[in-house]
Amino acid sequence: MRAAKRGLITAAVTVVCAVTVLAAPGTAFASPTPTPTATPGPKASPTPPPSKDLEAVREKLDKLYHDAAVATDAYNAAEEKAQQQSAEIVELAKKIVQGQQKLDRLKDRAGAAARAQYRMGGLPPQAQLMLSDDPGQFLDGAGRLLQGERATKGLIGEMTRTQEDLKQYAQDASAQWEKLEAGRKAKAAAKKKIKQQITEAEKLENRLEKKEKERLAKLEREAAAKAQTAWLDTGILKEINSKASKQGKKAVEFATAQIGKPYEWGAEGPKTFDCSGLTSQAWANAGHPIPRTSQEQWKQLKHVDIKDMRPGDLIIYFDDASHVAMYVGDGAIIHAPRPGRTVTLAGAGEMPILAVVRPDA
């Protein structure tokens, strides 16, 4: 019995310790270091590629970083689930230990009752009662016998329920462990995908000459400005005139204070952020926690019409809800764009809008 108890408690403690290993967030990878090249000798300046070729490069980069954002959302979702499952396993482990201790106490009580019966000659209480010649003693004993039988049944029932609870706790812990392991694999796969997409994008950018990079940056600005202008030309700002809520102001203040900090996938601050890490931390700072990922923010938060949005609301972008930004008023957003960029102020219409959600609806 004692060996079984020690084994169960040891297993519970092992679960708690092992959870820390399985649930530990992946370490962000370092940007690959460009391979050193020999110092080139004098040569003629290369002919800049046609604008249509750079436009193709821009579109390719947009796709690579978009795919990286999708993978980042998957990574963040797996990380959030791992934290929840880890906490549940820890609680189950505590219940197993507490349940085993309770069962031991119940068994001690049952043992004490058995020893008391042994001291009375081994006869069951019913037999001893029948041998009594004193009517008063008989009636008194009958009452005690009834109480004793009820107590015994209650003790047996409580022991049975405790054993069943322990069995259920063990099954639940096993199920959560399997989910945690599956989440670990999903997180690892997402991390690999992020690394592949960002590495390919960086290689593509590193192949460009300085002038080409400057022209590419100009193309990106022009594309963003064109999209923002088209959005503003709809007259939407004339319809948007809602004021921020008290919590919304706090969220905007937090987001504004992060401008200039680098983007890093999977990051929630304080030095670096990804897109949903910025928005979730801004609203947590405002005293209203929201889901960690852009997709869950889109699914779980209340949707509002674009014309009704107010500063502090979140704008979800792209059909797959892979990007999120905070609306700050006057047609502008604050967001963490992508690797290689910093938290910045931008136009709300620079990307295709999927929905607007309100954390403090």
Q: Active-site residue numbers?
A: 275, 323, 335
The helix/strand/coil state of 308 is helix
Task: State whether the Cα torsion 255-258-259-264 is positive or negative.
Answer: negative
Q: Which residue has the tokens 């022209």?
A: 215
The helix/strand/coil state of 302 is strand
What tokens appear for 163 in the block? Answer: 């054993």
HSE of 74, CA atoms in CB hemisphere, 13 A: 19
Quick one: three-class SS letters along 328-345? Answer: EECCEEEECCCCCCECEE
What tokens appear for 96 in the block? Answer: 């197993």
Work out the number of other CB atoms within 10 angstroms of the CB of residue 287.
11
The helix/strand/coil state of 234 is coil
Could you give the CA distance from residue 208 to residue 186 in angstroms, rounded to a whole number? Answer: 34
| H helical segments located in the chain | 2-23, 51-119, 125-130, 135-206, 210-232, 236-239, 246-257, 275-285, 294-300
The helix/strand/coil state of 316 is strand
